[in-house]
Chains A and B, each alone.
Chain A
Amino acid sequence: MADFQGCPGSHMLNFNTQTANDAGQEVGKISSQLGQWPIQMHLISPLAPYYQNADVLLTADCVAYALGDFHREYLKDKSLAIACPKLDSGQDTYTEKIKAWIDEANINTLTVLIMQVPCCMGLLGLAREAAEKAKRKIPIKYVVVGVRGEVIREEWV
C-alpha cells in the first residue's frame, strides 16, 4: 500500500481476519456485562444511581468493536459512558458531566479507553480537564487500543 498522508483515524486498512475458534481462543456465547442504559454521553445523567461511587469507564465509540475482550476484561463491574471525541458536538457538556461524576456522584475511579488514532486522545484530554476542575481527586487510568484490538498501553494518569 502506498504511504498514506491523510488522517490516521480514517486510514483504510484491510486486516487478515482470524476467526474466534483459532487455536487458543475461547468459543461459545459470551454474556454481556453491560449493567445500565443509556450509555451515550449526551444521554446519560452523571448522577444516575449506577454511577454513584462506581468505577466508571469512559470509552471511545470504536473501542468496543476493536477490543475482543471488552466485556469481560473492561466492562465487567463498571459503569459505562461512550463518546466520540472527533465527531460528537457539544463536548463542553461532557466535561461538565465528568466533573459531576467526580464531585457529585463520588465515583471511585475513571478509566478512559481510547483507540490509538490521534483524535482519540481528545477524550483523555476532556477527562483530564474535568478532573482538574473537580474539587475531589480520583485515580484516572487510560488504555490505548490498537486498530487490531491489541492493548497498546495501560497506565495511570
Chain B
Amino acid sequence: MEAFFTKGIKEIIDQYPDVEKILDEYGIGCGPCSVGICELKDIVDIHNLPEDQERELMQKIAGIIYPGQDIKIPPGKKRAPAVSDEMKYSPPMKQLVEEHVLIKRWIALIPAVVKNLDLESGEGRQLILDGIDLIRSYADRYHHAKEEDILFKYFDKDSEILQVMYEDHTTGRGHVKAMLDALERRDAATLGEHLLAYRDLLTGHIKKEDEILYPWMDRNLSTTQVGELFAKFSEVDEKMGFSPDKYLNFIEKLEKQFNR
C-alpha cells in the first residue's frame, strides 16, 4: 500500500476509477483536476481529515487496490482539532479570499457576455477589453502576483499542490493571450471558447484555493509568518495605489445589463 502513497492521484484514479468515488465521499474532489500530480499522501495530509476518518479512507482505498486482502494501514496523522466549523482565515489569507469575490462575479457573467458577443461595434469590443483588463490587472498582476511573488515563497515551490497552482496561472495567461488574438481577428467563436475555458479554469482554481490551499497554508504558517505576509501584502497595496473601484463599477454595470 505504501507504494501508492507516493503515486500521483491521476495515475491511481486512471488505474482504479472507484478511488475517485471514495475520495468524493470524504469531500476530496480530485477527479476533475486537470493536473492530478499530487501524491496520495499529500492529498490526505492537505485535507486535514480527523485521524479516524483518514484511516477509514485509506482502508477503503486499499480495499479497491487490493480486493480481498488484509492490508495494514499506518496510523493516521494526529492533527490539531479544528477550532471552529466555520472557515476562518488568517488576515492575509482572508484578503486573498476577498479578492476572489470580484473575480468570481466577473466569471459568473462570462456565459452572458459570450451569448451577447458583439465584435463589430466599438462598444462590444471595449466590453471585452475591459473584461480582459480585469483579468490581467486585477486577477493576474495584482492578486496572482501576491501569491507567486510572496505567499508561495513560504512553501516548497516544487510541491505538487503549488505546481498545480502555477500551472493554472500559466494556463489562464494562455487563455488571455488567445482572447486578445481572437479579438484582433474579430473571431467571436474562438474568443467565446477561451472566455468559457477561462471561466471553468478559474472556478475550479478559486475553489481549490479557498477550500483547500489557503486553509492548509494557514495551518502551516507560524504567527510570525502571518504577520510578515500581512505587512508584505499591505506594501503591495500601497505601492500599486490600487483601487478595485474601476473593476467594481465595470462588474456592477454588466450585472445590471444582464439582470444578474
Interface residues of A, Cβ cutoff 8 Å to B: 55, 77-78, 108-109, 111, 137-139, 141, 153-156
Inter-chain contacts of B249 with A (CB < 8 A)? none
Inter-chain contacts of A109 with B (CB < 8 A)? 223-224, 226-227, 230
Q: Are B227 and A55 in contact (CB under 8 A)?
A: yes
Q: Are A156 and B227 in contact (CB under 8 A)?
A: no
A contacts with B: majority SS: strand
Within the assembled complex, what's the spacing in Å between the Cα atoms of A77 and B222? 11
Q: Are A156 and B91 in contact (CB under 8 A)?
A: yes
* Closest A-B pairs by Cβ, 5 of them: A108-B227, A109-B227, A139-B91, A156-B90, A139-B230
30 pairs, CB–CB < 8 Å, chain A vs chain B: A55-B223, A55-B224, A77-B224, A108-B224, A108-B227, A108-B228, A108-B231, A109-B226, A109-B230, A137-B230, A137-B234, A138-B230, A138-B231, A139-B90, A139-B91, A139-B92, A139-B223, A139-B226, A139-B230, A141-B223, A153-B83, A154-B83, A155-B83, A155-B84, A156-B88, A156-B89, A156-B90, A156-B91, A156-B94, A156-B226
B contacts with A: majority SS: helix
Within the assembled complex, what's the spacing in Å between the Cα atoms of A137 and B227? 10
Within the assembled complex, what's the spacing in Å between the Cα atoms of A139 and B84? 19
Interface residues of B, Cβ cutoff 8 Å to A: 83-84, 88-92, 94, 223-224, 226-228, 230-231, 234
Inter-chain contacts of A111 with B (CB < 8 A)? 223
Distance in angstroms from B96 CB to nearest chain A CB is 14
From A108, A111, A139, residue with most partner B Cβ within 10 Å: A139
Q: Which of A55, A77, A78, A155 lies in contact with B88, CB distance below 8 A?
A: A155
